[in-house]
Amino acid sequence: MSKLCLGFEVHQPYRLDPAFNPQNGKARDLESLYFSPQNKEILERVADKCYIPATQIVLESLDKGFKCAFSLSGTVVEQLEKWRPDALELFRQVARHRNAELLSQTYYHSVASLFSDLEEFELQVRLHKRAMKSIFGVTPKVMENTEFIFNNAIAKSASQMGFTAVYTEGVERVLGWRSPNYVYSCSGVKLLMRNYRLSDDVAFRFNNRDWDQYPLTADKFASWVASSPGDYVNVFVDYETFGEHHWADTGIMDFLKWLPVECENRGVEFLMPSEAAEIEPKEELSIEETISWADVEKDASAWLGNTIQYTALKAIQRAKAYAYNKKIWRYLQTSDHFYYMASKFGACAEVHSYFSPGACQPYDSFATYMKILAHYERTYASRTRRKAAAMELRALEPAEAFHFFTPTAYTGFTAYGLDDLSDLLNYVPKDSVEHHMARGDFSRWIEDVLGDKELAEAVAACKTRLEVVEVIEKKREELWKSLK
């Protein structure tokens, strides 16, 4: 008998306000200052189009033997509590049902697993686990990291936190000749690998009239599952697929309604993830590279594929020292912010653009992010006893940043703070460094923007790139040490 393990990702971020202006509100009310007023509007629309009608269908099917799993981010639960408690109550009914299972993830659906260590990642997973117990009365046994981001270190971490299994993508370059339709093990934890072809048939191709399998019906899909070799099939999609990404008039709700019936007609049995995790692993896998379910690359490039994304990721990690309000700091870690900064081409670019608020361009999203992060850090710096050090190390918005030029052109490198300047000086082209040294640009920027006259004078006295690097690095270490 074929088996189907069906999972739904339920997530809404706190999108940043592209019209952010520090003059529009008071510093004590940073959440309303930083985050878009459209978040409420979007949440209510998705609740009406997807969460309520789709969950009503799921609840009816659960009573008839259908099984599935939900992974709700902490940020979507917060929004449902504030703006649509009626939809949240339906998810509570699902959570109480014997045929449904809730998964664990990072509370803020964040990029914390891409940080230099997993301390913040583990903390957010524990926050989420406690929230699922508090709000829904259940303690998840299986987890899925943000967008299925996964590697050996994450597997080991999940095992140490007591999870029986972790979801990730069935990536061919990892599986090789193997099939995703088996359970594997990795660093002490069971591995549930998504069959992305069948998942994407629903999530992306359902409404594609150019697809040779259009239209996709419940009976057709059920027959594909029934004929799939292996121990079981993992299908995992964004819940917003049903009614939001594909509107009801496409037939997507009928597909959801009739899929359990058609599967039963073909002898397909439904499994919950914890039940799938009881299947004997086919073999042990080692996944050293970071993989995910995002884009055709299925790696971390959806969030770390260009220099502005790397800049933002480094900046949010350093901002921990400024996190007097850790909730906002963690809202700024949500993966969506980094996803909007991606600069990809073709079909991947279309998907990124679809999810980006107002179809903002990557650099526009980055500029908004850095403006808000810079304001957040500046607000903290004004309150700390070590104000001078905090102000000098803070992240800068684009208008304050140092842009590296050669005598004829922009190099593509920009320093959004003293840390960035110190790092970039090691590999920015020689002619650019010499150009700025001859003009006194480094010392002028350090004095005018960072406010450190002493360091500016020391840099002005340097004769070589190496001397500049050594002087700035020494000062940077001293400043960070004073903040600890």
By annotation, the residues acting in catalysis are 147
CA-to-CA distance for 309 and 307, rounded, in angstroms? 5
Q: What is the DSSP string of 410-462?
A: EEEEEESSHHHHHHHTTTS-HHHHHHHHHHTHHHHHHHHTS--HHHHHHHHT-
End-to-end CA distance of the chain: 59
Q: Quick one: which of 285, 292, 358 has its CA closest to 114?
A: 292
Q: Is the Cβ–Cβ distance between 343 and 306 less than 8 Å?
A: yes
CA-to-CA distance for 76 and 13, rounded, in angstroms? 7
CA-to-CA distance for 108 and 481, rounded, in angstroms? 29
Q: Is the Cβ–Cβ distance between 87 and 55 less than 8 Å?
A: yes
**Helix count and strand count (H, E) for the chain:** 24, 11
Crossing angle of helices 38-46 and 74-83, in 10° steps, is 90
Residue 190's H or E segment, with its range, is strand 189-194
